Amino acid sequence: MLLSASIVSLCVVIINFSAAVASTVSGDDETNNSTIVTQQHHRHDHRRLASARDRKKAGGVFTDDNDPRTVELKEGSFAVNENDGEPPLPPLRICNREAPISHRFDMDINDKYRRECVLRRHNTNNHKQRQPSKDEDTSILLLHEIKTFGRTGNNLIEFLHALQYARDNDLLLVVTSGCWVPHLLTNMWLSIRIDNPDIEKQSPLRIEAMEHWTTLLEQLFCIKIITTSGTVTDVQIDKLVLQLSEQYKNVIQMSTKELFLMFRTNANYPTILDEYIDYQCFILRALFRYYNTGSGVNMRNKPVKDMCSVIDATFGGRTTTTATSSSSTTTSTAAAIYSVIHSRSLEGEPGIRLLEKISRRSKCDPLGALLMEPDYIKSILQPLGMLNHPILFITDHQNPSIYNKLLADPIIGPYVQLIPEDSSWVGGDITVAIMANVFIGNPASTFSGFIAKSRVALGYDSSTTVMFRAKDNNASGKWITVCEDKCIFDAQIMNAMA
């Protein structure tokens, strides 16, 4: 039977399928003249948000164990309820580098959304005394497809959109264990803690590991996971939908393409941008609390890679010689001071057209972030005191002339280095860019966009995440930032990529 009696309660149901991935987008604001020697501190202005709406915390939306707001505290879990306090979160550290976000602010936001998910209704105990029946008030959003729309950057947006849509519309998000969502996530975060991939599927160790993984995901994202085994056929999906239709008012199914394009129409724009940013950043921080370190397996039962592999290979105790002297210095991963450029050509003309659209809405230059000319890069790094530090270059290799021009520049050329293809991979590239002192990206790339959003979530100063630049026509023609870090989340500017 597809629906297992052991399904744990939560706001989202996950149905497993096989997987997917994509790339793109941007966000940043004004540069300042301060030199970067340590990571910048988190700004509290637009990110410290009041709760803007009543989320129906009482009154019969869910029943019995299907109510994610009445989840019992599971052994070893961090869920909160009326009688138990949540263990305090440690300061967020990634690859031995401390995130700049205020620890107090991080804990406050975590507590806000954790309580929103598991808050008990006053009549919970009464509900537990009777048999569950069809909930005529609750609709669910069901994700069950294997096929995805686009590459990793797109798929990450699709996951974030699904969580947002379910929350905004008071839906129970249901995901099958074999669908694209677990495959996407476990490649980089939330690996299944199995040391030996050859362990039999029905072994107690594997069953225990899967149960722990399911509980963690459900509580982390306020979702519900339905476990399926093997390849799920269309007939089985039809039966599952029928089964869920007998339990809930309505079953909404959305493809990854529909999730990606969700904000192309004004009707679906988030009504309160600050609250949208607040929740999206909460999810991004939740992911990076569980980044993969090379231990465990993904949903395909393959050993996972270490998200810190690129940054460790680049700075992990290596000895470097500076461009201005013959002396050499040893730089550790934690203490490394460096910038990252993400150069994405986006298949030529399509990329030019996409950046032109974003340019019209954000007022950024229509070519600057595509061409990445030396003057463009130096205009960003010089005011921040970053001209004499390593500049890592991540590229799609579609336009080698961009890298060659930077390499030939007499000022920054000696510091520019390409991440070797043999060590470059999507998770490692994402992490080394997110944890950089300065990130320079392309707003037309979903890959850049995810990095920029994650840096906002981790509290990096807006001057150090540079996506939207244009020349100042009213002054000396200098490059300036023209759109603040909210822009990367703003559907009015980013459209589907918000």
Q: What is the pLDDT of residues 196-249, one digit of tens each?
A: 878 777 788 888 999 999 999 999 999 999 988 767 788 888 999 999 998 889
For 305-358, write each residue's pLDDT tens digit.
Answer: 999 999 999 997 433 444 444 444 445 888 999 999 999 887 778 888 999 999
Residue 103 — pLDDT band, cuts 50, 70, 90? very high
| Cα 418 from Cα 62, distance rounded (Å) | 52
pLDDT of residue 264: 76
Mean pLDDT across the stretch 276-304? 96
- pTM higher than 0.85, yes or no? no
Q: How confident is residue 475, by pLDDT bands cut at 50, 70 and 90?
A: low
Burial 176-187 (b: 16+ CB within 10 A, else e): bbbbbbbbbbbb
Q: How confident is the model at residue 17 (pLDDT cuts 50, 70, 90)?
A: very low
Question: Which strand (E) or helix (H) includes residue 405?
Answer: helix 400-408
Q: Report which DSSP code applies to 264.
A: G
pLDDT band at 398 (very low <50, low <70, confident <90, very high): confident
Mean pLDDT value of segment 407-411: 97
Write out the H or E segment, with its range, that includes residue 214.
helix 204-221
Q: How many Cβ atoms sit within 10 Å of the Cβ of residue 16?
A: 26
Say if residue 121's pLDDT is above 80: no
Q: Are strands 469-471 and 479-481 parallel, antiparallel or unpaired?
A: antiparallel
CA dihedral 342, 346, 350, 352 (to 10 degrees): 30
By the 10 Å C-beta count (0-12 exposed, 13-18 middle, 19+ buried), 10 is classed as buried
**Region 416-422 average pLDDT:** 88
CATH of the domain spanning 310-497: 3.40.50
DSSP state at residue 168:
H
What's the CA gap between 109 and 98, in Å, rounded? Answer: 18
**H/E stretch holding 369:** helix 368-371
Delimit the domains of the chain by residue range.
21-28+50-282, 310-497
If residue 426 lies in a helix (H) or strand (E), which one and from where to where?
A: helix 426-434
The two three-digit tokens of residue 332, written as one number: 């550790």
Q: Which of 81, 72, 87, 84 is nearest to 115 (CA)?
A: 81
